[in-house]
Chain A
């Protein structure tokens, strides 16, 4: 009986005609809004200028840009706002709006990809060092070498620009670097008259000795869960053993080798011998860091924040931690390899203000910003001059070790890198969980990598 209600008070009710008009207006507005959502990817075709030989100016003195970056540190002052403030002081007419990106790297990539392929997204974004090939192949990043001279790329530490290059073009400006380090318990080694191990075999025997005395529960904690970190750790063992994941031109798998078997068998032995926890197949950085900070392990493999985290309040090992380059296998030249991590700055192909973007990127990779990152936030600078400068080296124990380390990138020179990495970490983690033998795991990884490289993998 409700619908009669309107007609009972004709004076107060709206007339049907105006009601209908209101309804139609609502429909029209919805259609416009929805249409707006879906039409942008198509229309963006017209504005994309990827193939054109646009000689955008390398600098600008004014403009507004958006910078997409995930949090760099988890406590204290935010390096991103510190840097933006310093930049705006140097370029008062360029305004930078910081957009805080998701902390999870995969979520970060997913969000960026959908935004950029939808014709939108930030002007400059901070992205992982393993993204260049994939982002280049999908035209999600503008090649920086199109605008910036070779002399600019010569200011970076060796190897970093190569990692950001795909098919002869540089896609990302190295912003800050990261790499694997060996953290050790100074007190326990001293007590047992041991020097810092330079080989994996040495690390194993030292661990066993200390464990057998009950001075620590574990010898070595690292990352072995089914995620990207397990690939990073495996790359270090693999390169130490003399192996590689891909052939030279990244066209086929080279992972089913004797060297790889040696590396993976060693990783397995760490767990089966009790030198590493049984739970390694679930360990990401957090879990391994927690064990080490709780004083449960003699050695830890972690990124550069491992030192400051182990010295933070609540840690049981304050003042007892040393940092060294990674060990290698006996008979190989020391030190062992450290896997490269870290972040690059990329330009969105849809950016309307490339000149300001480049000004921002050049400043962020220049002396001032890099020094702030190193001395105030303990990040490893990418700028070679800053990296080797005396005040940076003496500012922090980890930065002092950096010049002694040997680096190896992940096999990210293929746009199919995510599948290649998945093939590695799922199989490594399966070996650590005890569900596969090293030989089977390498065979499975080999065929998964080959089908990924042929574009046929899932």
Chain B
């Protein structure tokens, strides 16, 4: 892969001039083909609708109804805010919300900082870059349930690698998944290990696309590496980083598989995320109303979070452009 920033712009494609009647006929044909295209994609779209839109709408409806799960099917009755009342009044929900928000903020921040640093290093690697990227992608490509199980072995208080390391450096035998703070931190570490490469790859893609002439100008003006990074690279990378952050917020807020495998939400309910709480409400307690309310609230919160983030981000970009 070449990192030549001063790539020549793609040559303009020459337009052929056609007689007017041909154009009209072509337009009709094109419209007909477009319609046919819609027909052919309809089955796929219907499937997408069935597996995404229908469940989303059904969850919304359930969250505002009294839901009875019976052998004869789901019975929904009444329009109620009771489910949300249950959710907001629950100590466990408030705790899960706090945990999920903290988890999201910490992991996303660390991943973006680390990921950007890794991308900057990768950009300067020439021959080794392909190999390094392949290595980096291993954690990201592992299914979380499997990588979580690997972390489970590492954190095991009896024969885990982490225990061996801690005792070797004289820190005794902390029970990593057995106390609230360390279990939360252990979960964050597992997430950061897995998702930092994803951020690094996205940021690297952004880095490669940056225009070379700006850097040449900076060099001419005598800017040092540090200044170049803060004044040029980072501002230009903003849209890319924003994209990475958005993806990560959406994923981190839906945290489920790590606690499900590592702690089942424990000790106590220290690592019960909103998704785990919703799952337990629905599939263990069969309380689909409150469970759906947890899901809907979580979705609403993450959408609001993303919108706020984009607002702030856009304001910053505009400021940057004005100054």
List residues of chain A with CB within 8 A of the CB of B71: 48, 50, 116-117, 138-141, 348-350
Known: A138-B71, A433-B179, A435-B179. A26 touches B43 (CB 8 A): yes
Chain B contacts with A in 118-168, Cβ cutoff 8 A = 157-158
Is A366's beta carbon under 8 Å from chain B? no
Q: Does A416 lie within 8 Å of B158, measured CB to CB?
A: no
Contacts of A444 in B (CB 8 A): 91
Interface residues of A in 17-74 (CB under 8 A from B): 19-20, 23-24, 26-27, 29-31, 34, 37-38, 41-42, 44-45, 48, 50
Q: Mark B27-56, 1 if CB is under 8 A from A, else 0.
A: 001101100100110110011001000100
Give the residues in chain A near B26, CB-CB below 8 Å.
Answer: 4
Chain A 70-120 residues near chain B, CB threshold 8 A: 106, 109-110, 113, 116-119
Q: Which of A176-184, A203-211, A273-281 contacts B (4 or more CB under 8 A)?
A: A273-281
Complex: A4 Cα to B25 Cα, angstroms: 11
Is there an interface contact between B283 and A110, defined as CB atoms closer than 8 Å? yes
The residue that A41 contacts in the complex, of B33, B74, B267, with Cβ under 8 A, is: B74
Q: Is A227 an interface residue (CB 8 A)?
A: yes
Of chain A, the residue at the smallest CB distance from B173 is A278
Task: Out of B73, B178, B277, B284, name the residue touching A110 (CB < 8 Å).
Answer: B284
Which residues on the A side are within 8 Å of B60 (C-beta)?
A: none
A114 to chain B, nearest CB (A): 8
Inter-chain contact B266/A458, CB cutoff 8 Å = no
Q: Does A31 lie within 8 Å of B266, measured CB to CB?
A: no
- The CA-CA distance from A41 to B46 in the complex, in Å, is 20
- Pair A44/B72 contact, Cβ less than 8 Å: yes
- Verify B287–A458 contact, CB threshold 8 A: yes
Please give, as numbers and ranges, the residues of chain B lying within 8 Å of A429 by CB-CB distance: 266-268
Q: Are B286 and A42 in contact (CB under 8 A)?
A: no
The reply to whether A434 and B179 form a contact with Cβ atoms under 8 Å apart is: yes
* B29 partner residues in chain A, CB cutoff 8 A: 3-4, 7
| A11 interfacial by beta-carbon distance below 8 Å | no
Q: Which residues of B contact A113 (CB under 8 A)?
A: 69, 283, 286
Q: Does A3 contact B30, Cβ atoms closer than 8 Å?
A: yes
Q: Taking A26-B43, A226-B263, A433-B180 as contacts, is the C-beta distance between A458 and B157 under 8 angstroms?
A: no
For residue A422, CB closer than 8 A to chain B, the reply is yes
Question: B197: CB under 8 A from chain A?
Answer: no
**Contact of B281 with A by CB under 8 A:** yes
In the complex, B175 has a CB within 8 A of chain A? yes
The answer to whether the Cβ of B177 comes within 8 Å of any Cβ in the partner chain is yes
A433 touches B267 (CB 8 A): yes
Asked if B180 contacts A435 (CB within 8 A), the reply is yes
Q: Which of B42, B54, B267, B285 contacts A430 (CB 8 A)?
A: B267
What sequence of 0s and 1s flags, for each residue 105-149 of chain A, a beta carbon within 8 Å of any chain B beta carbon?
010011001001111000000000000001000111100000000
Known contacts A278-B157, A457-B90: does B72 contact A45 (CB below 8 Å)?
A: yes
Nearest A residue (CB) for B38: A23
Residues B36 and A16 in contact, CB atoms below 8 Å apart: yes
Is A282 interfacial (CB 8 A cutoff)? yes
Asked whether, in the complex, the Cβ of A458 is within 8 Å of the Cβ of B46, the reply is: no
Report if A117-B263 is in contact (Cβ < 8 Å); known contacts: A226-B268, A427-B268: no
Please indicate the chain A residues that have their CB under 8 angstroms from the CB of B40 in the complex. 23, 26
Query: Would A48 and B72 be within 8 Å (CB), given that A27-B43, A458-B294 are in contact?
Result: yes
Number of A-B contacts (CB under 8 A): 178
Say yes or no: A42 contacts B73, CB within 8 Å.
yes
With a CB–CB cut-off of 8 A, which chain B residues contact A314?
none
A232 and B286 CA atoms in complex are apart in Å by 21
Residue A155 interfacial (CB < 8 Å): no
Q: What's the nearest-Cβ distance from chain A to residue B299, in Å?
A: 17
Pair A226/B54 contact, Cβ less than 8 Å: no
Give the shortest distance, in Å, between B83 (CB) and chain A (any CB).
10
Answer whether residue A240 sits at the interface, using C-beta atoms and an 8 A cutoff.
no
Does A10 count as interface, using CB distance less than 8 angstroms? no
Does residue B3 face the partner (Cβ distance < 8 Å to A)? Answer: no
Interchain CA distance A157-B277 in the complex, whole Å: 37
A4 to nearest B CB, angstroms?
8
**A432 is an interface residue with CB less than 8 A from chain B:** yes
A426 at the A/B interface (Cβ < 8 Å)? yes
B86 near A30 with CB under 8 A, answer no
Of the residues B39, B50, B89, contact of A34 by C-beta under 8 Å: B50
Smallest CB-CB separation from A121: which chain B residue?
Answer: B71
B267 close to A26 (CB less than 8 A): no
Contact of B178 among A6, A282, A350, A458 (CB under 8 A): A282
The one of A20, A117, A426 that contacts B73, using a Cβ cutoff of 8 Å:
A117
**A334 / chain B contacts, CB cutoff of 8 Å:** none
Q: Is A304 an interface residue (CB 8 A)?
A: no
A348 CB, nearest partner CB in chain B, Å: 8
Q: Is the CB of B178 within 8 A of A433?
A: yes
Q: Are B87 and A458 neighbours in the complex by a CB distance under 8 Å?
A: yes
Tell me which residues from 411 to 458 in chain A have a Cβ below 8 Å from any Cβ of chain B: 416, 418-419, 422, 426-427, 429-430, 432-436, 444, 448, 456-458
Q: Once the chains bind, are B46 and A27 in contact (CB under 8 Å)? A: yes
The answer to whether the Cβ of B99 comes within 8 Å of any Cβ in the partner chain is: no
Does B268 contact A118, Cβ atoms closer than 8 Å? no
B269 within 8 A of A: yes
> Shortest beta-carbon distance, B28 to chain A, in Å?
11
30 chain-A/chain-B pairs, Cβ below 8 angstroms: A7-B29, A27-B39, A34-B47, A44-B72, A45-B72, A109-B283, A110-B283, A116-B71, A117-B69, A117-B72, A117-B73, A118-B73, A138-B69, A225-B263, A225-B267, A226-B269, A279-B158, A282-B157, A348-B71, A426-B265, A430-B269, A433-B270, A434-B179, A435-B179, A456-B89, A457-B287, A458-B277, A458-B281, A458-B287, A458-B294
- 10 extra interface residue pairs, beta carbon distance < 8 Å, beyond A19-B36, A41-B72, A106-B284: A50-B71, A117-B71, A225-B263, A225-B266, A281-B179, A349-B71, A422-B285, A435-B268, A448-B92, A458-B290
Residues of chain B touching chain A, judged by Cβ–Cβ distance below 8 Å, are 26, 29-30, 32-33, 36, 39-40, 42-43, 46-47, 50, 54, 68-74, 86-87, 89-93, 157-158, 173, 175, 177-180, 263-270, 277, 280-281, 283-287, 290, 294
A-B complex: 10 closest residue pairs judged by Cβ atoms: A226-B266, A430-B268, A23-B39, A41-B73, A110-B283, A433-B267, A279-B157, A139-B71, A30-B43, A458-B90
